[in-house]
């Protein structure tokens, strides 16, 4: 395998690139090092890859990159580059999301047209579902995102489908459900909660704390991407969830048990765009990809906490 991984300096992208190199692949990573969070964090994500002869890095946006050159000889594309964050996707910032999530995806798909690529695996999101679908969420549900971020992720998904149908680009979309683990972005929930507990600080709780999420450990997500690259149905969509649907208040209890410290919360109103509940039906992924997450929420939280403690030291 010769793989192009977009967003390779990010949380999931760096884990994926390490797994691919370990499996014997040659990996070209591309990342713009956008300032959504500190560059130093992303540089640390790449520390395990920098010394590998099988890995090379291009610092660029997809819009500015010479994609025709980067795709030369590439057999697989893993597209993770995106502007993240539900709550920041409103207002004037929406243009950044359309540029990085929709326009960039279209440019990549266009560059892949006519090339002998075996799979293009796109990292989508449970945010495409919205709040009007039955639980557990099935891939054939009616999609009504409740955030601008979700709209852009769904638009990119549809572009993947269009390029598969019209130009036979072998796209596979994976809808990730609340990914966590070592290297999780510092703005994400578990990172903020664990950091606050360790420091005795207060975190903001949006809503009543009864909202639920299907938490998915990063190594299980990476395994799903590798499987999709080999066995995913071109034009297909798969839910990737960890099977750990838990209330936010229960997460605070787990963190207290793990750290020995309470999570001090300041409750405020729920924010526009925040989904009430997520829960993945992963039947399709189990059948086609042999997807079987094997990390419990307790195990995964402990791994993330230990990683954060080591990074702080």
Q: What span, in angstroms and rounded, lies between the C-alpha atoms of 18 and 305?
A: 21
- d(C-alpha 251, C-alpha 244), whole Å: 11
* Catalytic residue list contains 149: yes
| Rounded-to-integer distance, Cα 145 and Cα 130, Å | 4
User: For residue 274, is it left (φ>0), alpha (ψ between -120 and 50) or beta?
Assistant: beta
Active-site residue among 97, 149, 279, 305?
Answer: 149
- How far apart CA 101 and CA 119 sit, in angstroms, is 19
- Report CA Rg, the chain: 19
101 vs 99: CA distance, rounded Å:
6
Contacts of 251 (CB under 8 A, 6+ apart): 189, 190, 193
- Asked if the peptide bond before residue 136 counts as cis, ω within 30 degrees of 0, the response is yes
User: CA 108 from chain center: how many Å?
Assistant: 18
- Cα dihedral 295, 300, 303, 305 in deg (nearest 10): -170
Catalytic residue positions? Answer: 149
């Amino acid at each position: 395998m010769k793989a192009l991984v977009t967003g390779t300096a990010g949380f999931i992208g760096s884990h994926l690139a390490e797994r691919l190199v370990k499996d014997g692949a040659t990996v070209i990573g591309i990342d713009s090092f956008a300032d959504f969070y500190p560059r130093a964090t992303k540089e640390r994500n790449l520390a395990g890859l920098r010394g590998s002869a099988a890995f090379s890095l291009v610092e660029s946006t997809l819009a500015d990159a010479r994609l025709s050159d980067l795709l030369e000889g590439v057999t697989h594309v893993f597209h993770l580059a995106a502007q993240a964050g539900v709550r920041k996707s409103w207002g004037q910032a929406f243009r950044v999301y359309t540029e990085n999530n929709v326009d960039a995806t279209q440019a990549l798909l266009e560059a892949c047209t006519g090339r002998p690529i075996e799979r293009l695996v796109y990292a989508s999101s449970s945010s495409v579902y919205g709040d009007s679908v039955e639980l557990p969420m099935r891939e054939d549900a009616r999609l009504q995102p409740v955030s601008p971020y979700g709209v852009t992720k769904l638009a990119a998904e549809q572009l993947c489908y269009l390029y598969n149908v019209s130009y036979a680009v072998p796209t596979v979309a994976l809808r990730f459900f609340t990914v966590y683990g070592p290297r999780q972005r510092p703005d994400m929930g578990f990172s903020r909660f664990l950091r606050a507990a360790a420091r005795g600080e207060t975190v903001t709780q949006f809503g009543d704390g009864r909202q639920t999420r299907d938490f998915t450990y990063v190594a299980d997500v990476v395994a799903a991407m590798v499987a999709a690259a080999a066995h995913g149905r071109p034009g297909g969509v798969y839910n990737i969830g960890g099977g750990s649907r838990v209330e936010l208040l229960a997460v605070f209890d787990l963190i207290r048990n793990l750290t020995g410290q309470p999570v001090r919360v300041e409750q405020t109103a729920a924010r526009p765009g925040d989904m009430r509940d997520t829960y993945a039906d992963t039947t399709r992924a189990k059948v086609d990809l042999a997807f079987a997450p094997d990390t419990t929420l307790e195990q995964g939280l402990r791994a993330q906490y230990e990683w954060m403690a080591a990074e702080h030291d």
